[in-house]
Structure 1
Amino acid sequence: MLATWPHPKGYVCYRAPGPVTIDGDLKAAEWDAAPWSDAFVDIEGDKRPKPRYRTRMKMLWDDEALYIAAELEEPHVWATLKEHDAVIFQDPDFEVFLDPDGDNHTYGELELNALNTTWDLLLTKPYKDGGRALNGWEIIGLKTAVKVNGTLNDPRDTDTGWTIEIRWPWKGLRELATFTGAPRDGDQWRINFSRVEWDVQVNGGQSEKVKNRPEHNWVWAPQGVIDMHRPERWGYLQFSTAKPGTATFKPDSDWPARDALHRVYYAQRAFHKKHGKFAAAADLGLKDLADRLEVETTRSGCEISWLDRGAQPPKRRYSITDDAHLRTR
């Protein structure tokens, strides 16, 4: 039986007390209002060693945009890629994944390196479900900046690391969700952050990746597997208009239903891989969920519905399709 997944991390994002200047310098007074996140962990979670360098982020918002800051400890900061929309994670990078409506489909990804070279792309749905990355997509009004605390591409000395600022306007998010302006107090979106780090060696006075070693993936909200494209395991971004430091993150009351549907979704994937077809609810081995499920199957797909018995009439019904599209109605 697939185990339940714990409620992901949450971050309370406060309104910016004033204009946010995007220059990569996080010592500006406006950032004092934003709490730092927990230090990033390995993408697989506690079963893997803790990252050797600290990574953390913080966020603010106003009527125009979402602001993201990040601090990456690194003794030898290096980057090579200078072309926009290059595959940035071939360098050490910082990545943002954002799904405002939390339906697992049509979400945005932004990557940038220490040269402030960016790659923004839109995912129609996760790669595991046949999704495509639309590299031609551009985030309207995006601004980013990087500050290197040390010397870039010079391994002869020791650096402190690099810091990042991102301004992601609401108008640059309209393709990802049905909203027309800034979020409201208490709204929650799904978000996650990743840092890609490579093992390096010095050759000819320059840092280069050690051959045949995979990258390290350090993230804010662990995924459990080496795959950032599982939006159901991303963290929660909660917007607040309260005085900074006074609001409390409120866990998603829909989480038990969301998690249950994803357990069934993964069970269906495993069944289909083995048998070449989708299963009826009784054949999935999820006895603790079977009496609350409805499974509709066709030759090419399936949809799983979950009835929230604890809700007052009219009861809510949740559903997920075989390509992970999550809906509430």
Structure 2
Amino acid sequence: MEIDQPLKAIQYQRGSLLILDQLKLPDETVYISINTGADAWKAIHTMSIRGAPAIAVCGVLSVAVELYHSRSKFDSISSILQFVTDQLNYLITARPTAVNMTDAAKTIIDYLIPLNNKQQNVTLYINELLDFMEQFLQRDLDNNQSIGKYGAEAIRQNVKDKKKLTVLTHCNTGSLATVGFGTALGVIRQLAVDNNLQLTYFTETRPYNQGSRLTAYELVHDRIPHTMICDSMAGLLMRTQTLHAVIVGADRVTANGDTANKIGTYQLAILAKYHEIPFYVAAPTTSIDLTKRTGNEIIIEQRPSSEMTTIKGINIAAEGVQVWNPAFDITPNQLITGIITEHGVFKPEELEEKLISLQRTIKSPLL
């Protein structure tokens, strides 16, 4: 099937950054202007923009925009280096669980240091830095398209006698969570493009409803066959309907393959294991953190209680009720069939070895 032009969460040209305000979706389509790192921090923290890849790109480009407009204020290379480093480290604090912003900050800072020795002209230094930051846009799109192709092929191989596949996904992992195409939803898009998709089930994803607000918005826009379920219906769905795979995204994957993703992912993985349904994690290598050995080392973000007790400002819970609202959970590696990256699909137990090997063979500062 043909799919319409994907939605864009990020619109950028040098000196200008607009993000689609996902707090307003699906009722309104409103773009917010991001002019400073502080603007981006607020947008990320309040979840006007969300999705680990999109957070990183938004953060990086916000620094690029602020640097571009304040370039006349810098009189030395060292002052630029300090400004960019401080801004990136500040943006990391907006949401601690996703690793992509941390990875992007390290990549840029590692690039800055040798550039400092090579380029001594302030104007040329800024231009080279802006060129480098802007590469994050295309890289994310390219990675997502590769993830889609590798993931679709892996799922097809597991069900060779089936042409039309039915899958389940959780949260939002599409164009609204990335620069474009998506990770887990990118795999689903690719199945649809290849005419291999029968139906996509997706959860509403309580308490923030990224499924019912955002994934629904994307699937309707792209005319991809779909059915929404409540989070609590997944067990019955797996027992009574044919599912060929569960595909989710990731905010951070550790060296052993443990995966932090939207709250509710862990229980889906347990259910999939019991019902013998392949469970895939789709994530770019920027979401893989080899400095963390297991999921026990990941900080889990705690969100405001109002996200559970209200919907669009309307109270739905007894006043004064006590709330526990972790934004993410950890899925142990033994529940994961494969981790879909832009370089291929890896078993959790081989992930670290494969990535280290790739880092040795691919000479790219953006790997």
TM-score by length of 1: 0.27
Q: TM-score, normalised by structure 2?
A: 0.25
Which one has the bigger helix percentage? Answer: 2
Task: Identify, as 1 or 2, the structure richer in strand.
Answer: 1
Q: Could you say which structure has the greater relative contact order, defined with CA pairs below 8 angstroms and 6 or more residues apart? A: 1
